Chain A
Amino acid sequence: MAEFLMPTLGADMTDGTLVQWKKKEGDRIAKGESIAEVDTEKAVIDVESHTTGIIERLITRPGDKIPVGTVMAIIREEGRPTARVASSRSVTAPPAPPPPAQRTESGAAAPSQAGRLRMSPAARKLAAERGIDASTLQGTGPEGAITLEDIERATTTPADIAKPVGAADRQARMRQTIAAAMARSKRDIPHYYLSTTIDMDRAITWLKDTNERRPVTERLLYSVLLIKAVALALRRVPELNALWKDGEAGRSERIHIGTAISLRQGGLVAPALHDADRLSLSELMQNFQDLVKRARAGSLRSSELSDPTITVTSLGEQGVETVFGVIYPPQVALVGFGKVVERPWVADGLVVPRPVLMASLSADHRVTDGHRGGLFLAEIDRLLQEPQSL
């Protein structure tokens, strides 16, 4: 038996609201297939199953607000390598009774046990100041405790989070989610920053020649070259491709590049381009186009939001030359690219005009130091000088 849990779909997600099940009890589900739609602060996300099997039980109900890690469904697994393992498991380890999901039906019920509300003194003070009845709120702290953030959220958005939300409301919440993640990053992660200027002459010339031979539907954008260069450079400096968990960095075997995509209504998401080091430039371009389209349409998949192992942000489109980003926890590094600009450049003892690009690295000093970070940027530079081998 496998438990299907509410996944973490972002650094600061504490819970999600089940919008609908995509499957019924007794249905077959394949690994990677969508099992449910979950509303987070950012968007409605298609959540994928991690296992193949038959849906034994659907525990949570649409409208439920469900903390991360709560059992939402039980799946009877199929295709285990040996039947013995599967059966002995189900005999010796029956699934623990799932914790009940929190429910926000009327907003009137107090989230914790009868009596005094679980609430920090700071939250209590703020609630009093803003005239908010805390008993109508859904606490997101430990054991449903109402936190300062819950009160802040309640002053700008309705308390009943299970209600469908409008675009403006979602935007306000997205801002808060970004604020929480970035504040946590700056509080917990000792950032260091490095930058280097890269001569893009070869890369751009190669790209121009390549695109000239390709029909318009198969052309590449130069940002795909940058993403691939980052992915390959991470093989050389793998400690930057890691996630911080329980006081230490765990390296990731696979390279999933989170790509910062700005949304037109405001805000941004950074979903993953999976296995970017193993894809050809054409495949990467296709996936990138698809990802941007779906990010803007609000139809991202759960795995894309939950598993980037590093983030790349390009602000060149906005005309800036340099960007020093804030690391997206639990990642330990972020790469920033500015705009390609023509600058005087010394090559073979002569000053010549060259298209150049500023690449930066923001990295977690608990995990790496400037020496390794510098090596990583130098490797990106080296790779971009051989665009044909990307």
Chain B
Amino acid sequence: MSTPPSEGETRSQVLRLLGEIAPEADTTSLRPDVSFRDQLDLDSMDFLNFVVALHKEFHIEIPEADYPKYMTLNGCLIQLSAARS
């Protein structure tokens, strides 16, 4: 068994995926509890691409009904840590 990645690592992975979707956005000053859409001007196509990227990176299933849980950085970290345990 490999050691599970730390929250810091997961966080930087998520930020990298966001950066790939919105290359011009400054993800370093992202507020963790405010929705990505409001901060990064993501539209529904961007958000779908982000969810697909999370699915591919972390090998998790994300039903459409759960999308709202992934709309903030903190939300993503909570979901990803729950999926791992």
* Chain A contacts to B: CB under 8 angstroms: 208, 211-212, 215-217, 219, 221, 223, 264-265, 288-289, 292, 317
Contacts and interface: CB of A to CB of B under 8 A. Distances in A.
B25 to A, nearest CB: 8
Nearest to A208: B64
B41 A216 contact: no
Contacts of A212: 63-65
Contacts of B22: 264
Contact of A221 (B45, B55, B63, B65): B45
Contacts of B78: none
Nearest to B37: A317
B64 A264 contact: no
Main secondary structure of the interface of A (DSSP, over half): helix
A219 B48 contact: yes
A221 B24 contact: no
8 contacts: A212-B65, A217-B52, A217-B55, A219-B64, A221-B44, A221-B45, A264-B41, A289-B49
Contacts of A217: 52, 55
A219 B66 CA distance: 14
B35 to A, nearest CB: 13
Nearest to A292: B45
Contact of A211 (B24, B52, B64): B64
**Chain B, interface residues (CB within 8 Å), range:** 10 to 19
B61 to A, nearest CB: 7
Contacts of B44: 221, 223, 317
A317 B49 contact: no
A319 B83 CA distance: 33
Nearest to A288: B45
A359 B49 CA distance: 26
A33 B39 CA distance: 40
A317 B63 CA distance: 21
A267 to B, nearest CB: 13
Nearest to A296: B23
B42 to A, nearest CB: 9
A216 B45 contact: no
Interchain residue pairs A-B with the least CB separation, the first 5: A317-B43, A211-B64, A216-B55, A292-B45, A216-B52
Interface in B47-64: 48-49, 51-52, 55, 61-64
Contacts of A317: 43-44
